[in-house]
Amino acid sequence: MQHEHRMEVFACTASKGFAAKIVEHLNRTLPEAESIHLGESEVTMFSDGEFQPSFVDSVRGATVFVVQSTIPPADNLMELLLTIDAAKRASADTVTAVIPYFGWARQDRKDKPRVSIGAKLVANLLGAAGADRVMTCDLHADQIQGFFDVPVDHLYASKVFLQTISSLKLRNLSIAAPDMGGAKRANAYARELSKSRDCPVVICHKTRERANVVSKIVAIGEVKDRDIVIVDDMIDTAGTLCKAADVLKGMGARSVRACATHGMLSGEAVDRIHASALEEVFITDTIPHPELEHDPKIKIVSIAEVFAKVMTKVYCYESVSTEFIF
């Protein structure tokens, strides 16, 4: 007896809004005969803080996608692991962990003695839970894909940010990297944008006193009278970003903006951005920030459609290479 091939999409607690957007786009991209809804699941809470996710809908034989950004607290990661485990034990055919923001990605190597490599540990945990595939966006380091023993679809926010930058119609556009590690990303953006205009690259070199504390930034490249867009994978405390923007403005930049995929925006990040030389900051919705919906300076761009297109291609056994820019 041949089983029906069907897609089921579920959301964990931290990404219900994002998953709802994905489902909305999926119903536009899936074959006409198919229509899906966000699957019903629930989390049972125990009095001591322990919790147990479960599915209300059957997932037997289904191609299951579980959406969850592993943002702090660690309960979000644990909920994703338990939900994947529940799906496998409920006889799902395959389970794809859709992780818009992959937490612990900054712990990708031993940068000092006697530290963990958190990104590798999380990859092992996802594999042990039963994930058959992982889909994520703008990993802090590309090599994290190699930590997994299952296929990884590494999406890039460039798909939406390139459109955003083009729509600004900046006359003297330059792309900037906030540090040396972001030079590759900045060059890739500049290469795409240079197809229609001249777009030089500016590199900011920073030195740190300690984690999250930048002591000095020096900008390398043509800055004076340029409209500069800083591109990065995340904004945490916004210390580096705001200091870079102030340095660039002090060197004669006409305007400074930023595009960053993951808006952690921890601590006083929002206040720092508002007080900085930045005119606009664009982030995606991989991390929920409903409080910023009408913020005058921080703008949220949805990347849900990019995920929906790749999920459709994975489900339909089609090549996903056309969905990647860099």
Known catalytic residues? 206
Per-residue burial over 156-176, b if 16 or more Cβ lie within 10 Å, else e, is: bbbbbbbebbeeeebebbbbb
Please report how the helices 118-129 and 75-89 are oriented relative to each other, as an axis angle in degrees rounded to 10: 30
Distance in angstroms (rounded) separating the CA atoms of residues 80 and 71: 11
Alpha helices (H) in 130-257, listed in sequence order: 158-168, 183-193, 239-250
Question: The tokens 């390139």 sit on which residue?
Answer: 162
Nearest to 300 by CA among 167, 100, 164: 164
> Please, what is the end-to-end C-alpha distance for the chain in angstroms?
42
Nearest-angstrom CA–CA distance, 5 and 293 = 38
Give the containing element (helix H, strand E) for 269.
Answer: helix 269-275
Q: Are 85 and 29 in contact (CB under 8 A)?
A: no
